[in-house]
Structure 1
């Protein structure tokens, strides 16, 4: 069978194991059913996720013009502490920024390659952790806006990583860490403005299990711009990565906005 469409990040369903889907405009593909089977990925072209034009993708699924102008690509996306909607100050589009920034956000610890701190909207739990390939995660605080989450993350980044080592994550090189103890030990690190949002009695530790037949020992990252045609046997899915028998891994999120043809 052949599927063709614009890549967007894999949709997920929180279960054991996590269910993964590639969703196109007129079809979708259940990837868990392809484990142990061969698939072919062919690069066809580009389509910006914002303007829909067939322009080369610059970053985050956007063409250059859209990345530089869209409110969905503002600096506060990657750096929540730069959020200003709570002050009624516009970055690119205040209505959009209020909609996204002025809603409950979670600051969390996640265990993927090591313990990392991060921020996500409350509505993105546990999707955010699945996308990172975390095997465990625990919320630290729930705050009413993105700015408060951002300054909390900045304070904790002095003690925890804020990025995942994706190679260790894919190889399943994960240390044994007690996230409940980590959470209990860090209250004094949280900014004064956020102290009231820390709830030590909420010990809601999430466990995440991925559909993987075999973890790779050596990794080669597939780049569709350099290798527009690839075929291999799917052996696992973790984070936003497809893993293949020969050690090739494909980060679907990196290639959002690319038009592909997938042959099963």
Structure 2
């Protein structure tokens, strides 16, 4: 069976074992069904996720011009504390920015390679945690806009990490943490503007990834440098495909690449 389409991050469904799906326009692939099978991935060309032209991808699945123009790539995406829609101030497209920034947001703790703090829209729970490869997570505050979530994250990352070590996450070199204790310990550092939104009584969410074998020394596949790769898929964690030879492929980091997949 052969599929071809532009890569976008895998869609996920939280179940006893997380289900992964790859939407390739004309094909919708349940990636879990490919585990323990040999698959080939080949680079074909580029397709910007915004203008859909065949242009080299710059960042986040966008060509260079779209990356600097589309509201989907504004600085506030990566740095929520820069959000200004709550003040009626436009960055690139105020209507779009209001539609995203003025929705309820969650500040959370997740344990992927270590305990880290992060921000996501409420509707993206637990998707965001799955994408990061976290095996456990807990919500700290639920705020009415992205700005409040951003300043809370900035305050808390002085006391806890805000990045995931992808190698450690993929090796499953992790320890269970008591995230309730972490949440309670960090409460005093929440900014005054967000203290009223602190979530007092909630528990951890636990996530189970479909992995048969974790790599000891994961090596990342660069499809531009190695345009054809064949390997046996042995697991999926975060947005990574894990292969038997310890090659790993970050689907999300390769958004905008048109690929063919053969099973």
Length-normalised TM-score, structure 1: 0.99
Does 24-33 or 110-119 show the bigger shift? 24-33
Could you say which residue in structure 1 is the equivalent of 2:255? 256
Written as runs of structure 1 = structure 2, the 5 A alignment for 1:138-157 is 138-157=138-157
Could you say which residue in structure 1 is the equivalent of 2:243? 244
Deviation of 1:199 after TM superposition, in Å, equals 2.3
Distance 1:175 1:205 in 2: 15
Written as runs of structure 1 = structure 2, the 5 A alignment for 1:85-164 is 85-164=85-164
Distance 1:28 1:260 in 2: 14
Distance 1:113 1:144 in 2: 29
Residue 27 in structure 1 maps to residue 41 in structure 2: no
Could you say which residue in structure 2 is the equivalent of 1:205? 204
- Kept in 1: contact 2:139–2:199 (CA 8 A): no
Residue 220 in structure 1 maps to residue 219 in structure 2: yes
Distance 2:219 2:185 in 1: 38
Deviation of 1:32 after TM superposition, in Å, equals 0.6
Distance 1:176 1:131 in 2: 18
Deviation of 1:175 after TM superposition, in Å, equals 2.0
Deviation of 1:176 after TM superposition, in Å, equals 2.6
5+ residue gaps, structure 1: none
Please state whether the residue corresponding to 2:173 is helix, strand or coil. coil
Across the aligned residues of Structure 1 and Structure 2, the Cα RMSD in angstroms comes to 0.6
Distance 1:177 1:205 in 2: 10
Could you say which residue in structure 1 is the equivalent of 2:178? 178
Could you say which residue in structure 1 is the equivalent of 2:10? 10
Written as runs of structure 1 = structure 2, the 5 A alignment for 1:32-51 is 32-51=32-51
Please state whether the residue corresponding to 1:211 is helix, strand or coil. coil
Distance 2:22 2:110 in 1: 25
Distance 2:176 2:130 in 1: 18
Distance 1:204 1:24 in 2: 36
Distance 2:160 2:16 in 1: 28
Distance 2:218 2:70 in 1: 34
Please state whether the residue corresponding to 1:68 is helix, strand or coil. helix
Distance 1:211 1:199 in 2: 30
Distance 1:57 1:36 in 2: 31
- Give 4+ residue runs of structure 1 displaced > 3 Å after superposition: none
Please state whether the residue corresponding to 2:259 is helix, strand or coil. strand
Distance 1:192 1:259 in 2: 47
5+ residue gaps, structure 2: none
Deviation of 1:24 after TM superposition, in Å, equals 1.0
Distance 1:248 1:199 in 2: 40
- Kept in 1: contact 2:35–2:234 (CA 8 A): yes
Could you say which residue in structure 1 is the equivalent of 2:79? 79
Distance 1:6 1:228 in 2: 15
Please state whether the residue corresponding to 2:226 is helix, strand or coil. coil
Deviation of 1:71 after TM superposition, in Å, equals 0.6
Deviation of 1:131 after TM superposition, in Å, equals 0.2
Distance 1:22 1:186 in 2: 37
Paired residue total: 263
Length-normalised TM-score, structure 2: 0.99
